[in-house]
Structures are given as C-alpha cells and as structure tokens.
Structure 1
Amino acid sequence: MTGMTDRVGLRTAEDDLLPPADWGRRDPASPGTRAAWAFGLLAALLVLGRMWVAPHVDAGALDAWTTIFVAVCVQALPFLVFGVALSAAITAFVPASLWRRVLPRRPGAAVPVAGAMGAVLPGCECASVPVAGGLMARGVVPAAALTFLLAAPAINPIVLIATAVAFPGQPEMVVGRFVASLLVAVLAGWTWLLIGKGEWIKIPSRPEVHGRAGRVEAFRQAMRHDIVHAGGFLVVGAFAAATINVVVPSAWVSAAADNPVVSVMLLATLAVLMSICSEADAFVAASLSQFSTTAKLTFLVVGPMVDLKLIALQTGFFGRRFAVRFVPLTFCLAVGVSVLVGGLLS
C-alpha cells in the first residue's frame, strides 16, 4: 500500500532523479537572449581585434577608413530617412487601385507609363517590391508592375537629387542614371510581356487596409521595417566602400579601373553584393574615384534593380521560378544599357 501511495503521490525521491518528459528539448531563444548573444559576440570580436589586429594597422590608413565611412553614412542618411518615410506613407495611405485606374488598358502601352510613374514615387527597392505585388494582386498586368518595380527606386526625385549632391558639377551622371534606368525598366517590362509565362510568377494576395487606425499602423510598421533594413545595408555599403579605398592595394584598383571591361563588371558585381539602398548608393559610387564614369554609372543602374536583398524579396513575393529568370534578364539589360549610355556621355 505504501508503494502504491508512492506511485500515485505527487513526487517521490526516485522521481527527482528522473529527467522531465520534455528533457532535451530547447525552447526558441527569446529576442533578448539573441540580442545578448549578439552583443557578447560583438564585444568578443572588438576585444580580439584590439589585441591582435590593432597593433598591425597603420594609423593613417585607419584614419582614412574612418573618414570615408563616416562621410558616406552622414551624407546619405538624410536622403535615406526621407525616402523611407515617403515610401511608407505612399504604401499605407495611397490605395493600390489608383494605379490600376491611371494605367492604359493595353499592356504594351502600360509598360512605359508604369515606368514613368516610378519617377514620381519616392522610395527604395525594399518598398517597390510589395507595391508591385499589390498592383498585381489588384489586376495590373505583371509586365507593367515589374517595370514600375524597377523604375521607382532608380529614377524617383530623391534618388536623382541625391545623385546630384554626390556628383557636384557632373549633371551627366544624373541624366545618365535617369535615362539608363528608365530604359532598362521599360525594356525588361516589354521583354517579360513577350516571353513571360503565367506559371513563372506567383501573384501575391494582399488584404485591404481599412480605417485610419489601420493605415497609421501600416505606416508605422513599414517605416520601422524599411529604416532598420535600409540603414543596415547603408552601413554595410559604407564599410565596403571605405575598405575598398583603404585596404585594397591601389595598384590592383588602378589595374581594374584602367580596364574598361573589368571595371564595369567589377562595379556591377559590387552593386549586387553591397545591396545599398538607392537613396544612398550615389555617395558610395562617388567615393570610388578611380573608376570611369561608365563603370560608376553601371554601379548606379544595377544596384537598385539587382542586389542581394532585392533578389530575396522578389523570391519571397513572386517565387523562385520568377527570380531565376527575371534577375539575370535585368542584370544583363542593366549592364548593357549602362555601357551604351555611359559611352554616349563620356
């Protein structure tokens, strides 16, 4: 009877030695735990860098790197914040059905009109993907929505003003960026209209936002998301630009810059890898003074249309089958048109 009492009681001494039923399972780390780990890792890297790297770094090179890094961030930040704020406001408060009403019914005519509409919609590529998805969800032909997706972050007023500030006394960079980017967007839209198939693209569904409270919350969420992500990419881009200017031997950079083909392909590849927001990329391009106008123009045209974060966004919104076709198409058009326009300007 005592044994039975021990078995049906709350716990026994033997039970204390047994592992719980969910022993070995790990709960997902909370955001605070992840932040603590990230902070600890960063602190460890800083300590190790101070002990092992700092003694071998030239003070002049470190000063130059810091100057370039801070200059790129400080110059680009106002344009980045303003662009993200306007993009979030348009996404939250302007109904997507408006764009469907103003586009021509014929798909071939809708493509260039959608490209021209990108000139009046400030925002970075992070915002253009969900806006294009909303247009498709409301019946806009995919080719026109994709043209808008490519044009909006590349030729809107904030990007062009930022380009003019980054390249003072060089209006050809502003004109070249506008012409080349709009031409690439329209050509990509027309090409997709001719060869694109319905099964290649997954059209997303987006619920309507009703009421002022819902729109304000949508604006807040879009603003918070875009500023965190775009700000992070700006820091990465500034880090890369400063590192290229300081760490890479000048002989290597000069050799690449002196070769027209290598310089264009190198900056096109860097534009994809750096993933800089379009409101900020002009300041990074301006800092790459060793390269030709055509190479820097290629950097400015490719970046807002093909970069790592944009590829991820397009894959998430429209599917992998779409991304593996549309990304190479856009990249080839952006490089080819940039070389053509750059040659005419130089």
Structure 2
Amino acid sequence: MATTAPSRRKVTSLEVLCAILVLAVLGQDWIASWLDAPAVRTGATVFVAVCAQALPFLVLGVLVSGGIAAFVPASALERLLPRKQALAVPVAGLAGVALPTCECAAVPVARRLMRHGVPTSVALAFLLAAPAVNPVVLVATSVAFPDNPEMVAARLAGSLATAVGMGWLWARFGKASWILDRALSRAPATDRPRWRTFAETARADLVDAAGFLVIGGLTSAVLAVVIPRDWIEALGGQIVVGVIVMAVLAVLLALCSEADAFVAASIAGLPLLPKLVFLVVGPAVDVKLFALQAGTFGRAFALRFAPATFVVATACAVVSGLVFLGVSA
C-alpha cells in the first residue's frame, strides 16, 4: 500500500510578522542609530509624502470602481460610447476632464471599464487623461504658474494628445494577450445586494492597488535620495538635455498630478519647456504607476505600455510647448 508523504506546513504571514517584530526588538538600538541618518530621514519623508498624496485619490478610484461594478450595467456604457474605437478614444479622453482622479485612482477604474466590456484602447485613454486634464490639476497648474497662464493650455493640450494618441496606438497595435486574463474577464452575474457588491469590489481593488503603491513609493524615496539636486539646477541653459532629464525625472520622482506643478515651478532657472515636459510625462508614466499597472494588468503589458507612453508623452509635450509657449521656451 502506497503512502503519501506528509505535506510541508506553510509559513503564514502572521508568523513572518511576529519574526520581524522580534528581530526589531532585539536590534532596536542599531535600527535607531541607522534611521537617524539624514538620507534615511529624507527618504522616509518622500515615501510618506508620495503615499499620503496618492492614497486619498486611490480610495476615490476604488470607490468609483465599486460603483461601476455595482450600479452601472455594461449595456449603459456601451450606449454612451461611440461604436467606432477611433471616435470612442477621444470621448474617453475628454471624459477625464470631468473626473478629478490621481493616476493611482485611474488604474482600478480603467480595469473596471475593461471588465464591463469597454474596449481596452478606450479604457487606457481614460487612464491617461483623467489624472492630467481634470479641473483640479489645471487649477493647481494655474496657481503654480501665475505669470505664465499659457502653461495651463499647454499642459491640457499635451496631456490630452498623449491620452488620445496612446489610445489610438493601442487600438492599432495592442494585443489582448499582453493583459492578464483576470483584468479583462467580466465579473459573473450575481444575486448579491448591490451595496454588498460595491463594498466587496472596492475592498478587493484597494488591497490589490495599495501594495503596489507602497512599492512605487519606496522606489521614489530611494531615487529622491540618490539623485543630487545640483544636477537639476545645472540644466538652465540646456533645453534639449533639460527636456530629456526632466522627462526621466518625472518618471523617477512619481509625484501626484495635483502637486507636481508646484515642484516644477520651484526649480529656478529652468525654461518653461522642460517644466512642461515634466508635467505631461509625470501623470502618464512613473515608477509608482508602472508598479500599479504591472500588478493590475501584468508585466507584459506594463513593459510595453510604459516605454511607449514615455515617448509619446515627451513628444506631445514638446510639440504643445512649441505651439503654446514659443520656440524660446
């Protein structure tokens, strides 16, 4: 008679947490001295700031996502959007004006739209437009640049062009196989009360997204400590280099779209065009958003979508800057 080998007991997350707490108590003196380093304090401040800025909007996003799942039938979305993707993509981009969300909030909403049968290109256009062209961001940009009101129009045009352009590119070249099946699969019909569906959907989306927000915040904190500020301030007379560096910096710093205009405005001596590139690229692609997209839609999607978005956003920002700010920007 064959005997089965006993299954190995798995270590639970509670046991891991207890082990970490015991190690923390034993090494508290060393940990306290290590945390007192200026670089660690700076990194901790950046981490808390990134998460604190993004978390309220992330909660807003999962609430909207839960509301769509519980109260908006898929047939209603199909009636509201044009049947042709070429027309539905700019409509989704303009819809971002009406919904003031951070980029973290737009990810669960975009996934919910996909699960309701909205074409992927349309959902992605909304994902890119909502954090960048909503009234809160535009007002913040106007306040940050009181002497340059043209920055508002330039940011609106550049961000909207990025969202629509990426939506059209995905409609032409994107493949559903690049996105995780669970992000596209429609939720099965259920007889549960709508408020229960709303609560369970919002809770599940929040758990999914919050972990990747923490990863993105940690990455931003490390990069903020590593990158010397003197490098940024030395770009005043180098437009081309300034555009490239500010585009990369927008990806690495991962600022919330409601606050990035004040950071850009505070960089003295830098022309307006590199600052505009910073404002257009940041809400479209950054390390925090990449982590959220990878966790929500899969790494195969994020590794293709993020680089393409970076190139399109930078190009759209430069063109918008030349049109609204002038060649000397």
Scaled to the shorter chain, the TM-score interval is 0.7 to 0.9
Corresponding residue SS for 1:122: coil
**Structure 2 equivalent of residue 295 of structure 1:** 274
- Provide the rounded CA distance (Å) in 2 between the counterparts of 1:26 and 1:202: 27
Q: Tell me, yes or no, if structure 1 residue 184 matches structure 2 residue 170.
A: no
| Partner amino acid, structure 2, of 1:268 | A
Paired residue type of 2:62: A
1:319 corresponds to 2:298: yes
- 2:18 maps to 1:33: yes
After the TM superposition, which residues 1-346 of structure 1 pair with which residues of structure 2 at under 5 Å, given as runs?
27-30=11-14, 32-33=17-18, 36=21, 44-48=30-34, 50=36, 73=49, 80=54, 83-94=57-68, 95=72, 97=74, 98-203=76-181, 204-207=184-187, 210-211=192-193, 212-219=195-202, 248-249=229-230, 252-344=231-323, 345=325, 346=329
Q: Is the 8 A contact 1:233 1:274 kept in 2?
A: no
Q: In the superposition, relative to structure 1, how do residues 48 and 156 fare at CA in structure 2: closer, same or farther (>3 Å)? A: same
Which consecutive unaligned segments of at least 5 residues does structure 1 have?
A: 1-20
Pair 1:290–1:96, CA change in 2 (3 A): farther
Contact 1:233–1:276 at 8 Å: present in 2 too?
no
Tell me if the contact between 2:57 and 2:105 (Cα under 8 Å) persists in the aligned partners: no
TM-score, L = length of structure 2: 0.75
CA 1:152–1:253 in 2, change beyond 3 Å: closer, same or farther?
Answer: closer
Q: Residue 236 of structure 2: SS of its match in structure 1?
A: helix
Identity %: 40
Tell me, in whole angstroms, the C-alpha distance in 1 between the residues paired with 2:310 and 2:106. Answer: 17
CA 1:305 to 1:199, structure 2 compared with 1: closer, same or farther past 3 Å?
A: same
1:44-82 Cα deviation digits (max 9, x unpaired): 3441364xx57xx9xxxx9xx89xx69x959x96x7565
Report the more deviating stretch, 224-233 or 302-311: 224-233
Superposed displacement of residue 159, structure 1 = 2.4
How far off is 1:138 after superposition?
Answer: 2.4
Q: 1:219 to 1:27 in 2, by over 3 A?
A: closer
- The structure that has the greater radius of gyration is 1
CA drift at 1:145: 1.5
Q: Distance in 2 between matches of 1:307 and 1:101?
A: 33
C-alpha change, 1:114 and 1:38, in structure 2 (3 Å) is: farther
Shift, 1:117, TM fit = 0.9
Report the CA distance between 1:263 and its aligned residue.
Answer: 1.3
1:145-186 deviation per Cα after TM superposition (whole angstroms, max 9, x unaligned): 211111112112222233334334432232222110000111
CA-atom RMSD, angstroms? 3.8
Given the two structures, how large is their TM-score scaled by the length of structure 1? Answer: 0.72
Q: What code does the residue aligned with 1:103 have?
A: L
Over 3 Å counting, the alpha-carbon distance change for 1:160 and 1:271 in structure 2 is same
Partners of 1:138 and 1:187 lie apart in 2 by 23
CA separation in 2, counterparts of 1:146 and 1:35? Answer: 39
3-state SS of 2:288 partner: helix
Q: Which stretch of the first structure deviates more once superposed, 273-282 or 259-268?
A: 273-282
Whole-Å separation in 1 of the counterparts to 2:19 and 2:255: 26
Classify 1:316/1:328 alpha carbon distance in 2 versus 1 (closer, same or farther; 3 Å).
same
Moved more, 252-261 or 97-106: 252-261
Q: Which amino acid aligns with 2:60?
A: L
Confirm or deny: 8 A CA contact 1:162 1:282 kept in the other structure. Answer: yes
Q: Which one-letter code corresponds to 2:310 in the other structure? A: F
Distance 2:146 2:28 in 1: 38
